[in-house]
A and B are shown apart, each in its own frame.
Chain A
Amino acid sequence: MKRYGKTTALAGIDLAARQGTVLGVLGPNGAGKTTAVRILATLLRADEGRATVGGLDVVRQAAKVRRIIGLTGQYASVDEDLTGMENLVLIGRLLDFRRAEAKARGAQLLAEFGLTEAGDRKAKTYSGGMRRRLDLAASLVGRPDVIYLDEPTTGLDPAKREDVWKIVRSLVADGVTVLLTTQYLEEADALADEISVIDHGKVIAHGTPAELKRVVGGQTILARPSDPARLAETAAVLSAVAGRPAESPARGVVTVPVAGDAAFTEVVRRLAVEGIGVAELSLRLPSLDEVFFTLTGHHTEEEAA
């Protein structure tokens, strides 16, 4: 059990992540996600309260904590004037690897993250996705037991996001404990074993993704008929499947909240039977804003992190 205790630099939050699992910390900008990570990474001291990582106190045993953690910040923290390889070797050397071993570890990580060919180029020439991968690689040089990923996919396109997700999953498979902060319920749902939703420095909900989705109303089906004239018929199909009236939040689009995954297949089947073509049909999780509205009754505020 790893316990992340109370901190009142935030308004006071309790987070706990079990070893070998992913704890997702979900919240809008300014909720205190980065502050929590910085305290746990020994970069910032809490004004009050305690935090422990792997049983070690982050203030009194900071040096030992630093031996078992890896940090990937919100903005890729690599040195842009150094090559990918040089970045990794530097971290290895700072972690007391012998030169040859630092190089071997660097080469291994570059290969694992698909950066071997870019290894000799300065990091400033990397694309956003490559930089993120190098950043992740840099936090893994010392094979940490606990990894902090502070919004690791913010600003990445969906394909690159999937790449990062794969990496996170393989880390957890190796027994690493991951603390993941994100603004996307979708991401927390895809990766986390447990999710803590925080707002204004407080945990406002905690549970498994399934529990959380139950609270916030599961998923929503969205349909856009190719022929706008058939909107009413489409709405009727959605309403019949969901057992509640469909809404039209935007022109030419109807949506309805659904409880189970089977509903989507049923909608597809019925639309086919009725011969209604669709330009857009999706099953999506509630957005962070919808989660917040359900949990707190107010929408997320855009604040500086």
Chain B
Amino acid sequence: MTLTLTPTAVAATRERRFGLVRHSLALARRSLVKTLRTPEQLLDVTLQPIIFVLIYVFLLGGAVAGNTHDYLQFLLPAIMVQTVLFGGMATGVNLNTDISKGVFDRFRSLPIGRSAPLIGSVLGDLIRYVVAIASLSVIGAIMGFRIQTSLPSAILAGLLTIVFAFCLSWVFVLVGVVMRGAGGVQGTAFLLLFPLTFGTSMITPKETLPGWLQAWVEVNPVSHLMEAARGLMLGGPVASHAVWALVWSAGMLAVFAPLAVRAYRRRA
């Protein structure tokens, strides 16, 4: 081993502008590389949704829609939303594990924006949403799902879902920063996601639900997102649902991103 630590003569030229963007992207890249190197972390957005589609379609298809083919058309856009939203949970869990390790101490001792590690995690995990949509598209196509509108319109449905999930994931980031252990993060995220995703017309038409549940479905932002996705993929009303989904997205981002950053700053 040679130990000739070169003195500070060779000062590197440093970039100065758009620091937060560059730092966040560098950290997003780290998160992405880590995900791709541990593909088993993607099981919840690959194999798991496929199993859910199979279960729902073959168990409930006949009862709800009369046949499995029609039920698949009804189910797939909504289950895409559910899968992507659940996919954001991992951001909070991973962040929680990361923070307790030394590497985040190092990030915090560097002259970078306090929000950069959080933005990096959230951006890096966008890959999970893309994988989830790709995985469901494949199984959907194999099982007979057909887009009734156009490909650009269906892609728009995917993008809308990703935007919503991106904003919602700041809630999980907040939970991930605040909670002591990864198990607690997962438990809390489940508690939030179950009413949000199942309290919708995802598996059965809203009309079949009891009144109090219909009232919840009406106000649930995820209902709007699912209806917008259905509209964009199968035809039907889109505009008002999409606008509501976007309004909710902006609201969640505006409230929870600053809260998460503040909590991260305070965490010792």
Do the two chains belong together in a single complex?
Answer: yes
- The residue in chain B whose Cβ has the minimal distance to the Cβ of A105 is B12
User: Closest CB-CB distance, B6 to chain A, in whole Å?
Assistant: 7
Task: Give the contacts of B2-19 with A (CB-CB under 8 A).
Answer: 2-8, 11-16, 19
Report yes or no: A73 in contact with B15, Cβ–Cβ below 8 A. no
Stretch at the interface among B68-76, B99-107, B193-201, B228-236: B99-107
User: Closest CB-CB distance, A70 to chain B, in whole Å?
Assistant: 8
User: Closest CB-CB distance, B22 to chain A, in whole Å?
Assistant: 7
**Cβ–Cβ < 8 Å partners of B16 in chain A:** 96
| Complex Cα–Cα for A143 and B6 (A) | 9
Report yes or no: B37 in contact with A81, Cβ–Cβ below 8 A. yes
| Complex Cα–Cα for A81 and B109 (A) | 21
The residue that A79 contacts in the complex, of B5, B34, B109, with Cβ under 8 A, is B34
Is B155 among interface residues, defined by CB-CB distance under 8 A?
no
> What sequence of 0s and 1s flags, for each residue 99-120 of chain B, a beta carbon within 8 Å of any chain A beta carbon?
0011111111111100010000
Task: Give the contacts of A167-218 with B (CB-CB under 8 A).
Answer: 167, 170-171, 174-175
Is A63 among interface residues, defined by CB-CB distance under 8 A?
yes
Report yes or no: A112 in contact with B12, Cβ–Cβ below 8 A. no
User: How many chain A residues touch B (Cβ–Cβ < 8 Å)?
Assistant: 49
Report yes or no: B5 in contact with A171, Cβ–Cβ below 8 A. yes
**Cβ–Cβ < 8 Å partners of B5 in chain A:** 112, 140, 167, 170-171, 174
**Cβ–Cβ < 8 Å partners of A122 in chain B:** 37
Is B268 among interface residues, defined by CB-CB distance under 8 A?
yes
**Cβ–Cβ < 8 Å partners of A111 in chain B:** 2
> What sequence of 0s and 1s flags, for each residue 29-40 of chain B, a beta carbon within 8 Å of any chain A beta carbon?
010011001100
Is A86 among interface residues, defined by CB-CB distance under 8 A?
yes
Is B191 among interface residues, defined by CB-CB distance under 8 A?
no
Task: Give the contacts of A71-96 with B (CB-CB under 8 A).
Answer: 71, 73-79, 81-82, 86, 90-91, 93-96
**Cβ–Cβ < 8 Å partners of B106 in chain A:** 71, 73, 77-78, 91, 138-139
Is A223 among interface residues, defined by CB-CB distance under 8 A?
no
Report yes or no: B1 in contact with A42, Cβ–Cβ below 8 A. no
| Complex Cα–Cα for A29 and B44 (A) | 41
The residue that B109 contacts in the complex, of A71, A78, A114, A170, with Cβ under 8 A, is A71
Report yes or no: A43 in contact with B108, Cβ–Cβ below 8 A. yes
- The residue in chain B whose Cβ has the minimal distance to the Cβ of A76 is B102
Is B156 among interface residues, defined by CB-CB distance under 8 A?
no
Is A97 among interface residues, defined by CB-CB distance under 8 A?
yes
| Complex Cα–Cα for A139 and B108 (A) | 12
Report yes or no: B33 in contact with A86, Cβ–Cβ below 8 A. yes
**Cβ–Cβ < 8 Å partners of B33 in chain A:** 81-82, 86
Is A227 among interface residues, defined by CB-CB distance under 8 A?
no
| Complex Cα–Cα for A91 and B109 (A) | 11
User: Closest CB-CB distance, A170 to chain B, in whole Å?
Assistant: 5
Report yes or no: B12 in contact with A101, Cβ–Cβ below 8 A. yes
* 6 additional contacts (CB under 8 A) given A71-B106, A90-B30: A43-B268, A64-B111, A82-B34, A95-B111, A97-B14, A112-B2
23 pairs, A vs B, C-beta closer than 8 Å: A43-B108, A43-B109, A43-B268, A63-B111, A66-B109, A71-B106, A77-B105, A81-B37, A93-B22, A93-B23, A93-B26, A94-B26, A94-B27, A94-B112, A95-B14, A95-B110, A95-B111, A96-B22, A97-B12, A101-B13, A113-B1, A122-B37, A167-B5
Hey, which bits of chain A sit against chain B, CB under 8 A? 38, 41-44, 63-64, 66-67, 69-71, 73-79, 81-82, 86, 90-91, 93-98, 101, 105, 108, 111-114, 122, 138-140, 143, 163, 166-167, 170-171, 174-175
